[in-house]
Amino acid sequence: MTDLHPLYRHAGLHPDFAEEMAYFFQNKVYSVQIETTLACTQGCRYCYAAAADPPQKELPARIIRGVLEAAARMEVRAVDWLGGDPLLRDDWEALMAYAADLGLANNIWSSGLPLADPGVAVRAIAASEEGFISVHLDTLDPGIYATLHTGHAKEKIAAILSGIETLQDLGKSPDQMVNCITLTTPVAGRDVQETIRFFWEELGMRTCLTLMAAAGAAGGMEHWIPSREAIREAYLCRNASGYAGTDLALGPMDVSKFYCGGVVCVTIDGEVTPCSVIREGVGNIFREPFPAIVARHKETLLATPLRRVGSRAGSCSRCAQATVCWGCRASAYYVSGDLMGEDPYCWRHPARKNREEEK
């Protein structure tokens, strides 16, 4: 790990990034995302997982254990626990302990609100000993927070920050924590930059800056997707906070191609997809075994065509950032319907920049 550039060490999120990178080049699944529940008290108005009438609100424990067992047999190394908020399941600790017993590292993607309870924080640290904990705080401004989320803004912001303080006081390294910000027009500009800097300078935490996708509750809310200039400014600020000293930069959706190219998601209703934001799967674990789905659709799930020289769509194949980034597959999917297509929101596209300069 010591000989890896700082960008490479952290761009994959997983603590053992050297191993994650090795899995990428072997075209193997490194991490399985599992949406365990839709329960969440944060109330994000743009939540991609939310649906008007979901078929179920919690993935059965026996199904989850089956996926974990299959993942272990496939030599998968980590589980990304998603929701909703996975810490709101009654059996979250038992499921994570089961995963750890199978040799899987636990990464927890929480709203951050349950971690205000010191007892939950202690157990989350123990469960994620080999992995990271992500919280989700878009803004420190209660007015903007209230625009993006339901409920009492000041109290929720305070609870998330309290949970972070508790985690760090109990020994969770800031290097194994991340704050997830969904980049929308309400936070674009000074606000998102102030939040990114606060987390880095005051708490030592990097930011996972993701772009809103018009899926789930955000369907029809394309007006909340910022301009490319606002996206550029936000990502340059993020790069300067935690990734200084490199001219390489990640792009939307923030994590590197080594993360995206090694992850497979199981959604709340059993769909197997390349990414939790992409809701349409290539198979369903209620109808077919998880390993069989992955084996049959590996090229799609791991975006294998993007690894071939000259095969990346459009300007992505010529981009100087291609060593770490291949654009956001979810953005490509929702805008063009082509999972392997060009990232429509990347500001680095030369032809697009020229067109916008002419306006």
Domain CATH for 193: 3.20.20.70
- Does residue 94 surpass a pLDDT of 90? yes
Under the banding of pLDDT at 50, 70 and 90, the label for residue 55 is: low
Q: What is the mean pLDDT of residues 42-68?
A: 86
Under the banding of pLDDT at 50, 70 and 90, the label for residue 352 is: low
pLDDT of residue 2: 45
Minimum mean pLDDT range among 137-146, 173-182, 238-247: 238-247
Under the banding of pLDDT at 50, 70 and 90, the label for residue 356 is: very low
Evaluate the omega torsion of the peptide bond into residue 261 and state whether it is cis, within 30 degrees of 0. Answer: no
Task: Tell me if 246 is assigned to some domain.
Answer: yes
Task: Tell me if 311 is assigned to some domain.
Answer: no
Q: What is the mean pLDDT of residues 331-339?
A: 88
Determine the Cα angle at 120 with ends 13 and 242, to 5°: 25
Nearest residue to 102 via CA among 125, 77, 80, 123: 77
pLDDT of residue 332: 87
The sign of the CA dihedral 86, 222, 284, 303 is negative
Task: Tell me if 324 is assigned to some domain.
Answer: no
pLDDT of residue 21: 87
- Does residue 219 surpass a pLDDT of 70? yes
pLDDT of residue 105: 96
Nearest residue to 269 via CA among 127, 114, 84: 84
Task: Tell me if 347 is assigned to some domain.
Answer: no
Instruction: Report the percent of the chain where pLDDT is more than 90.
Output: 61
- Does residue 354 surpass a pLDDT of 50? no
pLDDT of residue 133: 96
pTM of the predicted model as reported, rounded to 2 decimal places: 0.92
Mode of pairing for the β-strands spanning 263-266 and 271-273: antiparallel
DSSP secondary structure letter of residue 149: B
Under the banding of pLDDT at 50, 70 and 90, the label for residue 252 is: low
Domain extent, residue 257, equals 6-304
Can you tell me whether residue 70 is helix, strand or coil? helix
- Does residue 148 surpass a pLDDT of 60? yes
Task: Tell me if 336 is assigned to some domain.
Answer: no
pLDDT of residue 358: 40
Number of structural domains the chain divides into: 1
Q: Where are the alpha helices (DSSP H) in the chain?
A: 6-11, 17-25, 61-73, 92-101, 118-127, 142-148, 153-169, 190-203, 228-240, 257-260, 290-296, 298-301, 329-336, 350-358
Task: Tell me if 272 is assigned to some domain.
Answer: yes
- How many Å separate Cα 280 from the centre of its chain? 17
Task: Tell me if 335 is assigned to some domain.
Answer: no
Minimum mean pLDDT range among 49-53, 154-158, 187-191, 345-349: 49-53
- Does residue 4 surpass a pLDDT of 60? no
Q: What single string gives the DSSP state of each residue in 112-136?
A: SGGGGSHHHHHHHHHHTTTS-EEEE
Task: Tell me if 77 is assigned to some domain.
Answer: yes
